[in-house]
Amino acid sequence: MPKPTEPGEFADFELHSSRVDQYKAQIDVLKHIATLDTGALLVIVAFVEKVFKSSHHQYLVGLAVLFLLGSLLASGFACLTVLAGFPRKGATRMGREDRRDHLLSMSATFLSFFAGIAAIALFFGLNWFF
């Protein structure tokens, strides 16, 4: 049975539980981004040719697909870095290299996702208005 702590203090089991919840939330965010990546790729494949038969700036579609695929791969790698750095007995935090890899892969996930969405939005905007 864990012993009670003073107000404002945390016991080891509370820190571990909090850290596990944080890792679970990070995995959930990465899964949501991967789902959005996949959905965006499916929308691109299904509707681009049907919506704009004589479209201009088609290179933006290729660019969007590359960014979205990059985001999908980066989110998978970020999930692996979270799992690799998952708390183990005697270790309360990720190692320095794991944190660096995690930060880089999370950044790549979000930046690639937003760049892919921006490219496809730009494609549709340019073909819609011009």
In a domain, 53, yes or no: yes
Give the pLDDT mean for 77-87. 85
In a domain, 1, yes or no: no
For residue 37, give the nearest of 79, 68, 62 by alpha carbon.
68
In a domain, 99, yes or no: yes
* Parent domain of 93: 12-129
In a domain, 6, yes or no: no
Q: How far apart are CA 96 and CA 102, in angstroms?
A: 10
Count of domains forming the chain? 1
Residue 58 confidence (pLDDT): 86
In a domain, 75, yes or no: yes
What pLDDT, in 10s, does the model give residues 32-41? 999 999 999 9
In a domain, 7, yes or no: no
Give the pLDDT mean for 88-112. 83
Read off the DSSP letter of residue 2: P
In a domain, 5, yes or no: no
Please give the model's pTM, rounded to 2 decimal places: 0.81
For residue 94, give the nearest of 13, 19, 12, 18 by alpha carbon.
19
Name the average pLDDT for the chain. 84
In a domain, 21, yes or no: yes
Q: In the structure, how many helices (H) and strands (E) does the chain have?
A: 3, 0
